[in-house]
Amino acid sequence: MNEVKVERGGLWTSVQDGGRAGWRHSGMPGSGAMDMFAYRAANAMVGNVRGEAALEFTMDGPTLVFAEASVICVSGGDFIASLDDVVLPLWRPVYVPAGGRVRIGAARSGYRGYLAVAGGFDVPAVLGSRSMYPHAHGFAGLAGRALAAGDALLLNPLAPEAHRLAVAAAAAKYGLAASMRPDYGARVKRVRCFAGAEHTRFAPGVREQFAAAPYVLSAQSDRMGLRLAGASLVQPSAEAGSMPSAPAAVGNVQVPPNGQPIVLAADGQTIGGYPRIAQVAAVDMPILAQARPGDAIHFEWITVEHAEQLWHDRERDFQQLNLTMKTLR
Amino acid sequence: MKMEVVRLSENAMLFRGGRILNRLRPFPGLIEVVPAYDSFAVFFDLAVCTADQVKEEVALQVAEMVGERSLEEGKIVDIEVVYDGPDLTEVAQLIGLTVEEVIALHSGQVYEVVTVGFVPGFPFLRGLPERLAIPRRAEPRKVVPAGSVGIAGGQTGIYPSATPGGWHLIGRTDARLYDAGREAPSLLVAGDRVRFVPVAAVGGARR
């Protein structure tokens, strides 16, 4: 039985997958990887095509020992990583021998990292997903909590043929070039948005203001919401706070009465009472997920049609990537 | 129903000026319906259908629903409550009633679940008597214990788990509002009816 021992949990490491769909009506958010691009890329690199569960770590990653030979991929922020004390390259499949120790240290840039393993982590799925939900009673992932030293994670068994193919892919040393990844490293992060559900409640000047100067990511941000500080987005006083609660979605840019926007993230609430000035394009949520507290975010208006096109382009890129990884084998 | 339709995200549309429950007939690409007060969201898979198709399909189905007694379909759930909340006396004083009168008012209604959210399983209930409509607490609590029954802003609700909260707490229940291991994780869904049944502090709601 292939098992991964956790020697060090890291700052905040959880099991995540593509998220739970279909439970928002019960108040349960989708959860799942904050940086869907990096998560999906890591899975693609190890030949996982069914949304297998991976690890998401934050700022400082875990130390893991693999009982049996495995193929892994680490992606996301620019984390310092090693395999048995030799530098471990990111964004490409890597062969880990039996007993291999993978150490993930601090991120040189970026904020969240992912570790996928061929076959995926085997934790029980709850409501159709293995993603940790840490609030309320907490469930899934590893019993609804972050990884800690002494934990052990099981891996899904991999057929000998699949294992052989993953090893071959690792040997091919094919990685995902920086040019094919979102521009995580930019000093001012550019995040595209389209009109939010209540954008007409804001004066045109306020909508311009939102995209005119950068906002700074606040340290109060987490997987529920990314809080921003910058130009205050005022609403006509008669309307402020008068909105009946309405369904919310990931990427909603909510404006509470203090005028400082909050972007709803993976674990964000399903119902909200604040007007939404903008909606972050899904393809740019990974950029926000990799921003650190203090980083500058520059919003840019695009049309919803453009955002849809970007979404389809991204899906095509992943189909292509999965195909490429298959041919490598 | 004359509805306004806006985009909520690439994979969701928000329909305003109408209310349906989680009962759309399945169509290719439909993920789920999230009902709220006078709006609902339809989440869909952009790889399978377009936003325009969702709009048309929903308009078609909503047109068929007109005249249907969609609200009567919800189940009626009795929730046992020990009315001994930390704000009960204050609430009674604030509105000039006795504690007994507040309990009688609160438990004398049949409430409708408008939506479930805030945290998993938290029901927003419509039907609070006008007399009990008071604003939120000036200072929200950092932790409201699980099972607390609260009122605020013309609504009443139940906290399924310990969370921060600004509602006035008038009672508590042992009902399990959310359990991810159940087939229907949320005890209540939009459209259900709720009756609060007062029970004694000892041996009542404590099962």
User: Chain B contact for A281, CB < 8 A?
Assistant: yes
Closest by CA to B132, choosing from B150, B145, B112, is B150
| Contact predicate A141/A6, CB 8 Å | no
Q: How far is CA A245 from the centre of its chain?
A: 27
**Yes or no, beta carbons of B115 and A269 under 8 Å apart:** no
The predicted-structure confidence for A285-310, as pLDDT tens digits, reads as follows 999 999 999 999 999 999 999 999 99
**Yes or no, beta carbons of A24 and B115 under 8 Å apart:** no
**Yes or no, beta carbons of B11 and A282 under 8 Å apart:** yes
pLDDT at res. A145: 87
pLDDT at res. A327: 81
Quote the CA–CA distance of A36 and A255 in Å, as a whole number: 25
User: Chain B contact for A135, CB < 8 A?
Assistant: yes
Q: What is the ipTM of this complex?
A: 0.94
User: Chain B contact for A313, CB < 8 A?
Assistant: no
The mean per-residue pLDDT over the stretch A195-221 comes to 95
Q: Nearest Cβ partner of B36 from A127, A247, A269?
A: A247
Chain A CB contacts of B36 under 8 Å are 244-247, 271
Chain B stretch 153-192, residues whose beta carbon is closer than 8 A to a beta carbon of chain A:
160-161, 163, 178, 180-181, 185-186, 189-190
Q: Which residues contact A105 (CB under 8 A, 6 or more apart)?
A: A60, A61, A79, A80, A81, A82
Q: Measure B98 CA to nearest chain A CA, in Å.
A: 31
Quote the CA–CA distance of A38 and A58 in Å, as a whole number: 13
DSSP for A43-92 reads HHHTT--S---EEEEESB--EEEESS-EEEEEEES-EEEEETTEEPPSSS
Q: Are strands A3-8 and A79-83 parallel, antiparallel or unpaired?
A: unpaired
Q: How many percent of chain A have pLDDT more than 90?
A: 80
pLDDT at res. B202: 55
The mean per-residue pLDDT over the stretch A158-175 comes to 84
The predicted-structure confidence for A75-108, as pLDDT tens digits, reads as follows 999 999 999 999 999 999 999 999 999 999 999 9
Quote the CA–CA distance of A33 and A112 in Å, as a whole number: 10
Chain A CB contacts of B33 under 8 Å are 25
pLDDT band at B206 (very low <50, low <70, confident <90, very high): very low
What one-character DSSP code corresponds to residue A278? E
**Yes or no, beta carbons of A312 and B38 under 8 Å apart:** no
Q: Nearest Cβ partner of A25 from B11, B22, B160?
A: B22
Chain B CB contacts of A36 under 8 Å are none
**Yes or no, beta carbons of B39 and A247 under 8 Å apart:** yes
Q: Measure B8 CA to nearest chain A CA, in Å.
A: 6
The predicted-structure confidence for A173-189, as pLDDT tens digits, reads as follows 889 999 999 999 888 99
**Yes or no, beta carbons of A27 and B14 under 8 Å apart:** no
pLDDT band at A328 (very low <50, low <70, confident <90, very high): confident
How many CB contacts within 8 angstroms connect chain A with chain B?
Answer: 135
Average pLDDT in chain A: 93
The predicted-structure confidence for A122-145, as pLDDT tens digits, reads as follows 999 999 999 998 876 677 777 788
**Yes or no, beta carbons of A195 and B7 under 8 Å apart:** yes
Chain A CB contacts of B46 under 8 Å are 308, 311-312
pLDDT band at A242 (very low <50, low <70, confident <90, very high): low
User: Chain B contact for A31, CB < 8 A?
Assistant: no
Q: What is the largest CA-CA distance in chain B?
A: 58
